[in-house]
A and B are shown apart, each in its own frame.
Chain A
Amino acid sequence: MNVRLYIWQRATAAIMAPLVLVHIALIFYATRQGLSAADVLSRTRGSIAWAAFYGIFVAAVSIHAAIGVRNVLHEWTPLTERRAGFCAIAFGLLLAALGARAVAAVVLP
């Protein structure tokens, strides 16, 4: 892993640490009486705060996971660094696209 990717991975980890804590707390809160779509969507739909929270979360996790996958592919499979990089970029873009769609699905009124 080069320095640029190392810094991106650590920076996204630092950004996500508080977000993950809030997300875990929310998982516990949302499941207190069984998870329901009405409960989830009443909290998130039309909320700029949740849109920003999960928008940042999706962007950070897409970068963080892609770099992690790149490292694993390069170190644990016969793939060259270049091919591992291509796979990681594809995975990161997939995560970003699916994540953006998921955020839109739960926050747009």
Chain B
Amino acid sequence: MIARHLKHRGSALWLAAIVHRLSGLALAAFLPLHFLALGLAIEGEARLEDFLRWTDRPLVKFAEVALVFLFTVHLLGGLRILVIENLDWREGQKQLAALAAAVSAIVAFVFLVRVF
């Protein structure tokens, strides 16, 4: 009974929905910190520069790479939803969801190469 109810969780589209939700939550958690960081410019350019130099640490760079992935995958996942809801249905949604994840991973990898 339980296995039957949980069967959909193996689906690529269920995974896409979870990735969309969790990436949205992560971005929502990050946004206040992002705004606070940019707000440092109120105290002057030097204050923002000090913070940006702190972000040169490798661990922060890896976190930024993860954020670029989350940002891109949330954008592409959201575009897929908007297309499904507003245009005619088209087959290949699993492939589109996989493509969104792959493109996001590539974008994040290119960013990784650029920042290191």
Report which A residues bind B (CB closer than 8 A). 10, 13-14, 17, 20-21, 23-24, 27-28, 31-32, 34-38, 40-41, 58, 61, 65, 68-69, 72, 91, 94-95, 98-99, 101-106
Contacts and interface: CB of A to CB of B under 8 A. Distances in A.
A31 B111 CA distance: 9
Interface of B: 21, 24-25, 27-28, 31-32, 34-42, 45-46, 48-49, 52, 55-56, 68, 71-72, 75, 78-79, 81-82, 85, 107, 110-111, 114-115
A40 B49 CA distance: 10
Given A17-B79, A104-B42, A106-B41, A24 B107 contact: yes
Contacts, number: 89
Given A72-B25, A101-B35, A101-B39, A35 B71 contact: no
Nearest to B115: A31
Contacts of B27: 65
Given A65-B24, A68-B24, 13 more contacts: A10-B82, A17-B82, A28-B111, A34-B56, A37-B45, A65-B27, A69-B28, A72-B21, A95-B31, A98-B32, A102-B38, A104-B42, A105-B41
29 contacts: A17-B78, A17-B82, A20-B75, A21-B75, A24-B71, A24-B75, A24-B107, A27-B68, A35-B52, A35-B55, A36-B52, A37-B41, A37-B49, A38-B45, A40-B48, A58-B35, A65-B31, A68-B24, A68-B25, A72-B21, A95-B32, A98-B36, A98-B39, A101-B35, A101-B39, A102-B36, A103-B38, A105-B39, A105-B40
